[in-house]
Each structure stands twice: as C-alpha cells, then as structure tokens.
Chains A and B, each alone.
Chain A
Amino acid sequence: MPGLGEIIRESQIWKSIFRHPMPLDRRNRIVVMLTNFFLHLHPVSIKKQGIALSYTWCMGGVTFFLFLVETVTGVLLMFYYRPTVEWAYTDIQMLRDVHSLGILREIHRWGAHAMVITVWLHMYRVFLTGSYKPPREFNWVIGVFLLLLTLLLSFTGYLLPWDQLAVWAITVGSNMARATPILGHEGPGQQLLTLGGVDMITNASDARFALLGAREVGEETLNRFYILHCIAIPLAVALLLAIHFWRVRKDGGISGPL
C-alpha cells in the first residue's frame, strides 16, 4: 500500500502543478529553482558570502516581505474601512474595539513604520558595501524611486484613520507644497505667472491644491489619498520592484568582491 503522501505526489493534479520530484537531491534542487515561478527570481547557486547575514543584513528581503504583509493586511482592512469623513474614524475605532481581527490594523500600521526603517537600513548597507557601483548604478536609482514611493505610501496612509494625528500631520506636511517655487501660491515666483493681470497660481490652483484636491485637508483629500494609497502607489511599487529584482540578477546577482 502506498502512503497518502505518495498517492498525492503521484496524482495527476500534483504533477500538473509541480513538474519535478521533491527537491531532495542535487538535480531536483536545481530543477526546482528553474521551474517554479516564485523561486525563479533566485539564481540556482550563489556564493556563500552572498547569503551571509553579516554581509546582507537581509534588509532588502525584509522590506519586500513587509510590502507583502502590508498588501495582504491592507486588502483585508479595505473590507472594513470607508474613506469618508463621516465613517473613516469610526471604522478604525471599530477595528480596534469590535472586530475580532482588528489586530490587522496594528500589524499594518507597525509594519508600515518598520518598512520605512528597513528601506533605510537596506540602502545604508548597499551604500556601505559600495554595491551601487558599476554595473549596478541604475538599480540604485530605481531603489531611490522605491524609497520615495515607500515614504509616499506611508504618508498617504497616515491620513486614513482621520484622527487628530492624521489630519494635522498631513496638514503640516502638505503646507510645504504651498511654498513650491512658481507653482505654490506662497512660493517664490508665484507672481510671475499672471494672465491679463490675474494671478494664475492661487490657493485653488497651486501644487498644494493638486495634492489635496481642495483648499484644506478634507473629504476630497481623504478620497485622493485613499486611491493613491491603495491603488496607484502600490501598482507603481510593484512594477519598480519587478524591475529592481530583475536587474539584481541581470547585473550579476548580489554584489561581492571581484
């Protein structure tokens, strides 16, 4: 009698998903890396120092994992959250006090803080090992874009609980946009853009207005930040992540002394 495990592994369904036997010998450990979609991001073999934690700190991987955690918890949170001034705060309170899986919100929030820190630590490591040097120059540039998007993700998410912390932090942060040169209504050069004596840059048409969708942080801002936070920025991050990982492989894998 074959065991249950053997029956499963011999079944047509199993074999249609995994096109090779278990990765128990050298040949199959190589094959698994080549034929599995998720594993084929990796090379088949790697220099021992390239996986030493004292060298890599694992911070890039941790950041990517945190991004996945944020995505999963974020989708679940969207079930419980309505991005309107009327409901936003109440829904977050309900997550804390009523819903049994409300802890998702703490994980999402702390994970977001942790992700900002791990991105910095990852870049710190990449700088200190000189890993941005040729041929990896452009991947560092993509990394800087990813840093920027991580900060924007965190910044847009900051507003969603619609508590005092959220609204005033975004107010202080977005007030900076008022002072954008030329394009902010209190920025240097704002007076230069006039049409027939009428100011083109006012508090209803400047950079801050574009960011907030209104003159003040309000309903429009909440909607705008919600869509940026849940759809636009994550899509951009996903695309850049794919390029980032692809280039790590194409630029010769993880850095190391030549």
Chain B
Amino acid sequence: MTHGLTEAQFLEMAASFLGPFYIALAAMNGLAAFYLWRTNQMKTWFKLPIPFVGKSVNVTNALVWLAVGIVFAILAAVAGSGLASWASLPESWREAINKGTGPVIYSVGTSVGLVVLYFCRGFFVRPAVAWSIWNLMWLFLGLSMTDRDFYEIVAKPDNVPIVMLVFLLAFFTWLATSRAVENDKRIENGEPPLEKLDNEKVLVWPDLVYIELICMIALTAFLIFWAIALPAPLEEAASSVKTPNPSKAPWYFLGLQEMLVYYDPWMAGVVLPSLIVAGLMAIPYIDFNKKGNGYYTIKERRFSYAVFQFGFLEMWVTLIVLGTLLRGPNWNFFGPYEHWDAHKVEALNNVNLAEYFWERGLGMSLPATPELLWLSDLLRPFGQFFSILFGRELPGTLLVLGYFVALPPILAVFVMPGFYKRMGFLRFMVLANLMLFMASLPIKMVLRWVFNLKYLISIPEFFFNF
C-alpha cells in the first residue's frame, strides 16, 4: 500500500489522515467537557494556585477534558502539517516495544490485563478513568500511524474492521461493566437493578419506531461515508501460482488459524470450531443459575461471566488481533512497528512427547510400528492405529485420557461438588468436557513455550496429532 512511496510521500499520506483524526478527538473531548458543564456534573479535582495573585482556580473534570481537547487540536495542527516526527512515538520506544513483544508476552500480557481489569473493575469503570484510557487508546493509534510498518498493517483495508472491533468492544465492555458494577452495589443494598427502574410502559409508536428510524438513517449515512472514504479491498487478479506470504483466512477466522500453531488442522480447523458452536448452543442448558436474567450483573453470576469473558475476549478476539496484525510472513511474530521481512528465520525445534519419553528419558529408540500382517486388510489399519496409540504414544495417550476421562469425576467430587449436585451427571460432564477442551489451548501454549512440546500424541501415519 505504501509500497514505492518515498518517506516524504508517506508522511504526507499519514498527515492527510491524522489531521481529521486528531480534530475528531479534540471535538470528542470538547463535547465531553460541554456535556459535563451543561448537565452540572462538574467536579473539582484539585485547586491550582495562581502565582503572585494569591487566588486559586478550581480545576474541574470539564476543564481537564477541555485541556485534553486543546492538546489534540494542537496535535492535529502538528501532525496535519506534516511534522509527523513530532507527533509520533520515539524511535527508542518503538524498538523497545518490538523487542519486548512476542507470542508469549502478548498472550500472557493480555490475560493478566483482563484479570486486572476484572478484579479492579470498580476503579476502571469510573468515568474519568475509563475516559482517560479511551483517550490513551486513540492517542496510541494516532502516534503509531506515523510509523510506516504500523500504518501498513493497520490501514490495510481488510484490517480496518478489526481496529473498529477493538474500539467498539472496549466501549461496550465498559458500558456493560459499569452497569453491572452499579447493579451489584444496588443489589447488595437491597435495591432492584437499574433495569427495574423504568418499569412504566410506553407505546411502541412513536417511542420505539422513531428510535429505529433514526438508527437506520444514521447507519445508512455512516455506511455511505465509510464507502466513500475508504475503498473496499481489491487486490490484483487471482493467480494460482503467486502464493501470498502470509496467506491468511478472512479476519474473523484468524483466531482459528492462530490455533494452527499449537494444533493440527483437524483440531484447529474442524473439531474445535465445531465444539465452539456446540458449546455456545449448550450455554443456556448448562447455566443453571436462575439469577441475572434481564439485567447486567457480575456478582450474581461470576462463574459464567468469567468463563465467557475469557473465551470471547481472550481466546477469540485477542487471538484474532494477534493473527491479523502481528503475524507476518511464514506466520512469524512481528512487533507492531517491525518490518514484515519474509526472510526472518525463527528456529523451530519442537519435540514430541514420545521422543522426550523414549529417546531422552529412557535413552532408547522409538518403538517400531507393528506390521500386523495376520489381520485382514479391513482391520489392519485399526490394529496398527491402536497399537501405536497404546505403544509408542502411550505416555501422551495416558495424559490425554487422564485429562478428559479422569479429570471430570475428580472435578465433580473435589473441586465443584456444588455444581455436580445441582447439574446432574450428564450436564456436568458436558460442562466439564467443554471447559477442558477450552483450557487445552492455553495448556498447549504453555507446554510449547516452556518445553518446546510439539504434540502430546503424534501419529502422522494416520494424520492423528494432538
């Protein structure tokens, strides 16, 4: 996209985007200040003494956001006039971010971030805190857009929806969490949730149909604006000989493609997606908690909330972001400001569990595959498969069987006896197995990072690797 442009031409292109971008952010903060002022929600955060006069000014939240808006307006002028180097992250920071990131840091970091957000949600949903984070997210995007490699990836037409998704999810997660936090407080005090307050009935015409009409018009305008501002992706004509590197599936499947790093295609591409769909459908039937129906709450349904948020935000969305924005040629990891170099080499020395066990542990060679010539043609593949499964691959087979067969009863008796009692055998087993499948991805990630473990069970003869 920026291919063939000189540095000056690229900065001009970035400037034409960043000017309006920062003006919009300035307007956003100005409107926030105006809203706080008009609705009398101003709070004095601190008093700023004016030197030599002896008086002091009350610094209110509205004043702070107005000041932030002015900063953005100045940034608009700076970045829009082509002085992009003044409106970008220092080179040393970008280097540090590139060096510091990798699949491990990224995955662990986002997980830890989510845990912190969850436990400190009371702090993060406060409007001033949330608004600061919101501003910082946009500022980070703006400052990064002057970096050519970052721009190349984020502004690629097909990746634009992901950037939108990230900001929309941040906003809606805040909205839902702030209402849940408030509802939880109300319920503790014996009050009904917020949703109970507006209990009076209104006529659908006009109260709802007008909302729908306005939504439709706004959405149409937005789509037309988007279509004019940004041409839809269209690359050169298809060619069966020119394989792009990296070759990527559509962005909403890139979480699955990222799973290919840890799983074989039959798991990442077929079994796990089927289980995701089946698991989603099973949610209403395994969630026996009657509370939290029709209002936002966290405390009344901690377990289902935590599992869903981890599954959706961490294992679906952040994997998509990783697969789309940070995976380059040969599916190598590239930092956000790193050039996608097709010749970047990363040593892959992953080892199967069977090799660890027989060769490195016991110092012998892998057991050979039995011929089983005495079996009929029809039965021989079955015989061979199972003799490998319980021969050469025995350590992995025992681990996997233990994980999926022995763990659910242990969970039922020792870890979640309350769940088991209320759910009954079948529903509990479905829940336990779905959760174990879900947990197998982070477990496989950690095994890969720590032990370079490739597969627990590896039977390439039958395309069966786990």
Contacts and interface: CB of A to CB of B under 8 A. Distances in A.
Interface of A: 23, 26, 29-30, 32-33, 39, 42-49, 51-55, 57-58, 61-62, 65-66, 69, 89, 92-93, 96, 103, 105-111, 113-114, 116-117, 120-121, 124-125, 127-134, 136-138, 140-141, 144, 147-148, 151, 154-155, 158, 161-169, 171-173, 175-181, 184, 186-192, 194, 197, 216, 255-258
Given A45-B204, A125-B176, A148-B277, A140 B237 contact: no
Contacts of B188: none
Contacts of B202: 45-48, 51
A94 B232 CA distance: 14
B134 interface: no
A22 to B, nearest CB: 11
B242 interface: yes
Contact of A128 (B180, B257, B265): B180
B281 A141 contact: yes
Interface string B422-466: 000000000000000000000000000000000000010011100
Contacts of B175: 54, 57
Contacts of B237: 89, 162-164
B312 interface: yes
B382 interface: yes
B195 interface: yes
Contacts of B189: none
Contacts of A54: 175, 179
Interface in B59-101: none
Contact of B294 (A107, A116, A256): A256
A192 B199 contact: no
Given A124-B312, A258-B294, A188 B266 contact: yes
A172 to B, nearest CB: 5
A30 B62 CA distance: 44
Nearest to B233: A165
A167 B203 CA distance: 50
A162 B294 contact: no
A109 B270 CA distance: 27
A164 B196 CA distance: 53
The A interface, classified by DSSP as helix, strand, loop or mixed, is helix
Contacts of A164: 235-239, 242, 244
B226 interface: yes
A162 B234 CA distance: 9
Interface string B292-314: 11111100010001001000100
A110 B226 contact: yes
A173 to B, nearest CB: 4
A256 B283 contact: no
B38 interface: no
B208 interface: yes
20 contacts: A23-B205, A46-B208, A48-B201, A58-B215, A89-B237, A96-B231, A116-B252, A124-B176, A129-B294, A130-B297, A131-B293, A133-B290, A147-B280, A163-B233, A163-B238, A168-B244, A168-B247, A188-B459, A191-B381, A257-B294
B57 interface: no
A32 B305 CA distance: 41
Given A43-B204, A179-B265, A194 B377 contact: yes
Contacts of B296: 128-129
Given A103-B227, A106-B231, A188-B464, A181 B215 contact: no
Contacts of A30: 203
B269 A179 contact: yes
Interface stretch (B48-56, B158-166, B412-420): B158-166
Contact of A107 (B165, B216, B224): B224
B358 interface: no
Contacts of B287: 132-133
Contacts of B292: 129-130, 133
B172 A32 contact: no
B201 A105 contact: no
B122 interface: no
Nearest to B279: A144
